[in-house]
Structure 1
Amino acid sequence: MDFDRYLASELADHRAVAEATLDAVGDTFAVLAKTAVGTIRSGGKILLFGNGGSAADAQHIATELVIRYIGDRPPIAAIALTTDTSALTAGGNDLGFDRIFARQIEALARPGDLAIGFSTSGRSANVLAGLAEARVKGLATAGLTGRDGGALVDVADVVIRVPAAAANRIQEMHIVIGHALCGALEQALGLVEQ
């Protein structure tokens, strides 16, 4: 196997998806960023969740917001709903896996917060239920997805849909978009120098 050629092919595919994503989601990203800025300025918090690699993405972005992304600054209120193994396993056992995020939103979210669900397919039942519960509670909702967006497009106010079919490329773009959101928040809130 030619590993150099393989890496070059992977990076070329990544670049093509990145360019298509910029064309497809630029305006929608601005809506998400403005929503997130408004949430934090009004004293709200951002709740993030997903499954598998998307759970890791939710945790990654929540950590960048709470700790820091670019430079030292005050924390930005964010919680990944994927980190409490006791809540996840008790919820899965007692309520059903489809309710693990919705139940946490019932307990932790308040009107004025922002819920962001990650699902590469847009079909993860627990992400959909979490976003639906967030709407019931009066939260702004956003979904990061790919492919055709699935049912997520019906339960999120803001939908960022990466125009790709491969889950790995969709997740790569979700991290780039998440990082861009962190940087946009830091700058728009005046927490770091521009």
Structure 2
Amino acid sequence: MDPVSQLYNVFAAYQASLELLHKQLPMIAEVADTLASTVRRNGRIFIAGNGGSHSLGEHLCAELIGRLSYEARPVGAFVLQNCTPVTTALSNDYRFEIALARELDALARPGDVFLAISASGESRNLVEAALRANEMGLTTVCLVGRSVSPLGDGCHVRLATPSPEIVVVQQVHLVVVHLIWLALEQVLGAGEPAG
């Protein structure tokens, strides 16, 4: 397949995924409401992902603590696996698959939110963390690539972006992250537009 044809195919996959996302807008607003009620109770949001999804989690964390479109109350948000010595120590002393769960044990409390991002929905460390978060009384939310996945099945709320193209899933997850934050700004009471 020539490069231009491949680009048209990927673009068509974006369009299809965005159409499916359009149907999930009420659920995205529900996630924003959940996050807002957590923030109002002084709860915290713990975000996790691997690779590009981890970077997307950092992006969301920056928006939650900073701002996107409007001045809003900063949100207590943390990205797990963001401290290399902790991640490597837990992976070495225990197992990589439970390192995130161990971080939640140390940092989270009932009423907080665990938000996992995974294009595959099969990352064992994220699945284990979601299970542990549920046991601890956290609300679990995930952004996944498939409607059915171990991670999606283990979370209270699943926002799925079904596509065989990982690049499409990751790009649409970026859109979801921005939509969550835009809705959250409104729910928390947006102030002046950001400069």
Match of residue 16 from structure 1: 16
Amino acid at match of 1:158: V
How much has 1:68 moved relative to structure 2?
1.4
Q: How does 1:4-43 map to 2 (within 5 A)?
A: 7=7, 9-23=9-23, 25-43=24-42
In the alignment, is the contact (CA less than 8 A) between 2:127 and 2:151 conserved in 1?
A: yes
Match of residue 99 from structure 1: 98
Cα deviation 1:93-150 (Å, max 9, x = unaligned): 1111101210110011011110001111211100011111111111111111012431
CA separation in 2, counterparts of 1:34 and 1:62? 17
CA separation in 2, counterparts of 1:137 and 1:125? 18
How much has 1:158 moved relative to structure 2?
0.5
How much has 1:5 moved relative to structure 2?
6.3
CA separation in 1, counterparts of 2:131 and 2:59? 23
Aligned pair in 2 of structure 1 residues 173, 90: CA closer, same or farther (>3 Å)?
Answer: same
The two structures have a TM-score, normalised by structure 2, of: 0.90
CA separation in 2, counterparts of 1:3 and 1:46? 41
Match of residue 133 from structure 2: 134
How much has 1:8 moved relative to structure 2?
5.0
In the alignment, is the contact (CA less than 8 A) between 1:39 and 1:45 conserved in 2?
A: yes
Over the aligned positions, Cα root-mean-square deviation in angstroms equals 2.0
CA separation in 2, counterparts of 1:158 and 1:139? 12
Amino acid at match of 2:68: Y
Match of residue 180 from structure 1: 179
Gaps of 5+ in 1: none
Amino acid at match of 2:148: G
How much has 1:50 moved relative to structure 2?
0.8
The two structures have a TM-score, normalised by structure 1, of: 0.90
Gaps of 5+ in 2: none
- Secondary structure of the corresponding residue to residue 119 of structure 2: coil
Cα deviation 1:139-169 (Å, max 9, x = unaligned): 1111110124311133100011112122111
Q: How does 1:26-65 map to 2 (within 5 A)?
A: 26-65=25-64
Relative contact order, higher structure (CA 8 A, sep 6+): 2
Amino acid at match of 1:19: E
- Secondary structure of the corresponding residue to residue 76 of structure 1: coil
* Identity across matched positions, percent: 35
- Secondary structure of the corresponding residue to residue 122 of structure 1: coil
